[in-house]
Amino acid sequence: MADTKTTSMFHGTLTPQDITKYTLFRGVTDYTNLIQFDLYETGYSYLICLEIPTFLERMRALNEDYNSLITNYRHVLEWEFRGAQGIEDITSDPSELTNGITGLNMITKVNEQGGSQFTMNYFERSGSILTKVNELFLRGIKDPKTQIKRYNGLLSQPLGEKTASKTEASQQSRQNSNDRDGSNHLANAIMERAGFQFEIFHFLLIVTDNTGLNVEKAYILACCQPTTANTSIYNVTRGEIGFQEIPITMNGIPIPGRLVTQRAQSFIKYINAHVCFDEMEYGYRVLDTSIYKTEEGSDEQQSQDTSFYDKIENANSGGTNITSSLAIDYAAQESYTNNVRPNVTTR
């Protein structure tokens, strides 16, 4: 007989415990056997920035200020992520079967979330990283005073005309990037055309269990656009002192799927190989300093403790290389998969 088994749509997500052999709440509840209460815990998630808008990527080549702002913006969004709101339920609409006197409602339509808004809260940094980049994005999409789209001056030639001057960085990037229309890769420091495909972020939202090792659910938050630059933070009253927590609200659409879950698993493996979650194993920055080293030229040999401290690696100081590009991400994940660290366990 042919094998008719197919891959589950939930393949790759955390497999639940089999609780069919427990009495649960019927009759006496057996509180000595807690395996039956393996409950879902919310509050554990990661955000990966897969792509940034093409015109922002190309603005990075114009000057160091833009490059620093956009790079730090992406880093804050990922590494200070505390959760997102905006995922909606799958719902249904019924139609009535009736004989004219009594009726019965039957589901005839199932509704999945379409375009929506996602909100993430962050503390603004000195230097206004988040507000400045959101302003840069919105002004690039449309000038507030004229409503003309020029990508902050990048789009300055009629369609089809080439710009004579290019930066050295953009010329080098052209050799290493795809030329397909809509690609979010740096190919030219000057935009040659306008289009929605050049104006979107793509994120990967990964919701995990409380170990941070297993995927509960993963979504691509596709075609995201920040809706607000929170310039109201510059309102000031003498004597009112405080930090500014601002909402980053983005329009977008959530996309689930088995391949999305598969990519989320790869990111989780990579994150756990590069981020320390065990306080007792964390390599604090102060241990990386030279205070424990003996002075050069001294007859005193370094002690065993000194050698140990000098070799401690701060696993949290690796930067954002894991999200530099999808191609690099995939290669890094494949490399990690073939060389799994022994202290990283998966189920």
Domain boundaries, the chain: 41-86+110-257
Q: What was the pLDDT predicted at 292? A: 53
Least confident among 15-29, 68-82, 198-212: 15-29
Reported as a pLDDT band with limits 50, 70 and 90, residue 209 is very high
pLDDT at 224 over 80: yes
Percent of all residues in the chain with a pLDDT value above 90, rounded to a whole number: 55
Q: Which segment, 9-13, 91-95, 303-307, 341-345, is predicted with the most confidence on average? A: 91-95
Reported as a pLDDT band with limits 50, 70 and 90, residue 101 is very high
pLDDT at 15 over 80: yes
Q: What was the pLDDT predicted at 327? A: 42
3-state secondary structure of 59: helix
Q: What was the pLDDT predicted at 315? A: 42
Q: What was the pLDDT predicted at 183? A: 43
Looking at per-residue confidence, does 167 or 321 come out higher? Answer: 167
Q: What was the pLDDT predicted at 302? A: 45
Let me know: does 248 contact 233? Beta carbons within 8 Å.
no
pLDDT at 108 over 90: yes
Reported as a pLDDT band with limits 50, 70 and 90, residue 79 is very high
Q: What was the pLDDT predicted at 12? A: 80
User: What gap in Å lies between CA 22 and CA 29, rounded to an integer?
Assistant: 9
Residues 6 or more apart whose Cβ sits within 8 Å of residue 248? 77, 119, 120, 121, 122, 130, 134, 226
pLDDT at 330 over 70: no
State mean pLDDT over 216-230: 96
Looking at per-residue confidence, does 311 or 159 come out higher? Answer: 159
Q: Which two tokens stand for residue 72?
A: 């730090």
Q: What was the pLDDT predicted at 282? A: 85
Residues 6 or more apart whose Cβ sits within 8 Å of residue 81? 45, 46, 47, 120
Reported as a pLDDT band with limits 50, 70 and 90, residue 284 is confident
Reported as a pLDDT band with limits 50, 70 and 90, residue 161 is low
Instruction: Give the pLDDT confidence of 34-74 residue by residue, as tens digits.
Output: 888 989 999 999 999 999 999 999 999 889 999 999 999 99
- What rounded mean pLDDT belongs to the chain? 79
Q: What was the pLDDT predicted at 165? A: 46
Residue 282 has a CB neighbour count (10 Å cut-off) of: 14
State mean pLDDT over 70-80: 95
User: What gap in Å lies between CA 206 and CA 267, rounded to an integer?
Assistant: 9
Pairing relation of β-strands 45-51 and 116-123? unpaired
pLDDT at 287 over 90: no
pLDDT at 127 over 90: yes
Least confident among 35-49, 178-192, 226-240: 178-192
Reported as a pLDDT band with limits 50, 70 and 90, residue 291 is low
State mean pLDDT over 132-156: 94
User: What gap in Å lies between CA 134 and CA 125, rounded to an integer?
Assistant: 13
State mean pLDDT over 165-177: 45
